Structure 1
Amino acid sequence: MFFYVAFIASGGLGGFIAATQLIAALSNPSRANDVPEIAKGLAIDLGAVAVFAFLYYRENTAKNAQLAKLSREESLSALRIRVDQKRVLPVSAFRGAARLVILAGPESFILESFRSSEPFTESLLERAVLVVPFVTDGNLPSFEFDESEELKEVTAKRRRLWQLAPVYANEWSSWLDDQKKLAGVSSESPVYLSLRMDGRVRGSGVGYPPWNAFVAQLPPLKGLWSGLLDGMDGRVL
């Protein structure tokens, strides 16, 4: 960006000199033949200033947007999650350990997301996906788990996938409302956010989370593909 400023200053100085020369030439009939050349030089200088000013503005805008995004992600990392009765951790504590999928919507949205995730439970856990359901209508959803002995292992995995719960609801609500405003999404719309292993947002959308897409796009953390697909966690949005 320093170079843009330098070029703008150089072009501005050149334009000032050319403008001074043009005024002098216009007021002196004996220099009338110099006017076209001076005007051409002035146009070039002004054009250069305009181009570099635009490039500077574009890069500065992109830089500010990136800084704002990093600030929002840092705020997200400070939000807290209840793991169990004894542990409450910030989102940042899950970096390198889990890919969080944050759901925000009314009770019906959370319950339907819970039901639709069932066929993908094992595959999601293999990819270190953990769900953070945030209910926006004040109704606490009651997740139904099959307690039969033959499905004991499956139920344990279901509980693990859905074991997290956000705490300090006002802070979560404020952060989500800000995100919706920036994205131009209605405050009433149910949304999901998918985080990478490093805690940065890799995807988001309105409506139900695409569990099948998560399974297809995210590499498992164990087995043959572990290590080979490191870094293929999705681009940052």
Structure 2
Amino acid sequence: MRTRRYGLHSARTRKPPVPRWRRPSGLLPPPPSPSHALPSAPRSTSRCQCLASHRSPATEHAAPASGAPLRTSPPLLPPPLRTAASSMAKIRSEVLSPFRSVRMFFYLAFMASGALGGLIALTRLLPALSDPARAAGAADTLKGLGIDVAAVSLFAFLYSRESRAKDAQVARLAREERLSRLKLRAGAGDVARPFALGELRGTARLVIVAGPGEFVAESFRRSQPLLRELAERAVLAVPFATDGNTPELRIDGGGDEDGVGDELARRSKRLWQLTPVYTTEWAQWLDDQKKLAGVPPDSPVYLSLRMDGRVRGSGVGYPPWQAFVAQLPPVKGMWSGLLDGMDGRVL
């Protein structure tokens, strides 16, 4: 029998095999002679194949050689989703209608309760109809089933109405967020820095006048008799010539001798000094608004914004400057800042 010895210093401890790269040079096979050497072309080809199989990700997207077919690879990152505006619109919708989510939750709860009651009544009604001995209580069971079905239908209608109102409000707020990101420039030159329309929230009531150059010029002429009153109400016009023929809108004349008149005169001269930047985005936003309102694409329109940047009125044709003067409160004195949300009903 073969005995095994255990110990750290056993004489019969088996040595581990020596790896190839640590073997003595005498055990290695002799190098091939030059006459038996392999040609260099196959060796370089195998090396190229090995390197090609371990290419880096950067070389995968390199331009192919001439004559080689173009190889397209999927993008490393998916395209960004447009969820920022919608999430902000949903938050604003929750702020404007804080109890809508509570109502929708109770509508769902009542629908579930009515559906459960109807299911229980249905399980009682089917045996009663099949068994004449239980037909006495079938009338009451059928009455309860009808009440449950009516309750489920009523709360389903209320829930769908709330859901449609929520979707419409979120869509309107999303359009207003898109409008607030459109760019403007104060003045006709390119020296002024462009800024977003949303930066004027709380400081001005904008009136967007969109149409051909003649329509913009006529709207400008109709507003001249009311420049002082419009300036008192912080109204600023944004002329947007859809045909590219932007007319020259220049207000001549000065104010009174006192300081208040000079300030109103300066504000009156700035009433038509806003210029849209990136007109393609402006045209796209206006086209979307016209499609939603069912207005022909070539119709001249106007949009009136409240002090908080929300749309308070719009229509086809010239802006009603006299109605703006009659409806909007002046921005001065003790009421300054308190009536910013009292500019009218939001469309």
What TM-score, normalized to structure 2? Answer: 0.64
Structure 1 residue 139 displacement after superposition: 1.5
Deviations 1:40-70 (A, max 9, x none): 1100000000000000000111111111111
1:194 aligned partner: 304
- Equivalent residue, structure 2, for 1:138: 244
Give the superposition deviation at 1:224.
Answer: 6.5
Change (3 A) 1:67 1:229: closer
**RMSD over aligned Cα, in angstroms?**
1.8
User: CA separation in 2, counterparts of 1:59 and 1:233?
Assistant: 26
Q: Which of 1 and 2 has higher RCO (CA within 8 Å, sep 6+)?
A: 1
2:229 counterpart SS class: helix
How do residues 17-36 of structure 1 correspond to structure 2 at under 5 angstroms? Answer: 17-36=120-139
The match for 2:343 is 233
| Identity level (%) | 64
Determine the C-alpha separation between the residues in 1 that align with 2:204 and 2:232: 10
Q: Is the 8 A contact 2:206 2:236 kept in 1?
A: yes
SS of match in other structure, 2:170: helix
What is the match of residue 65 of structure 1? 168
Aligned length: 233
Question: For 2:222 and 2:248, how far apart are their aligned partners in 1?
Answer: 15
Unaligned regions of 5+ residues in structure 2, if any? 1-103, 256-263
Equivalent-residue separation in structure 2 for 1:215 and 1:226 (angstroms): 16
Tell me, yes or no, if structure 1 residue 114 matches structure 2 residue 220.
Answer: yes
**Could you say if the C-alpha distance between residues 230 and 155 of structure 1 is closer, same or farther in structure 2, counting changes exceeding 3 Å?**
closer
3-state secondary structure, aligned to 1:141:
coil
> 2:144 & 2:338 partners in 1: Cα distance?
58
Asked whether the 8 Å contact 2:211–2:240 carries over to 1, the reply is: yes
- Trace 1:1-237 onto structure 2 (pairs within 5 A): 1-84=104-187, 85-146=191-252, 151-153=253-255, 158-223=268-333, 226=336, 229=339, 231-237=341-347
Distance in 1 between the 2:123 and 2:280 partners? 61
Match of 1:203, SS state, is: strand
User: How many angstroms apart in 1 are the aligned matches of 2:312 and 2:224?
Assistant: 23
CA contact (8 A) 2:240 2:246 kept: no
What letter corresponds to residue 98 of structure 1 in structure 2? A
Q: What TM-score, normalized to structure 1?
A: 0.92
Q: Does the 8 Å CA contact 1:145/1:155 hold for their aligned counterparts?
A: no
Please identify runs of 4+ aligned residues in structure 1 that moved more than 6 A.
none
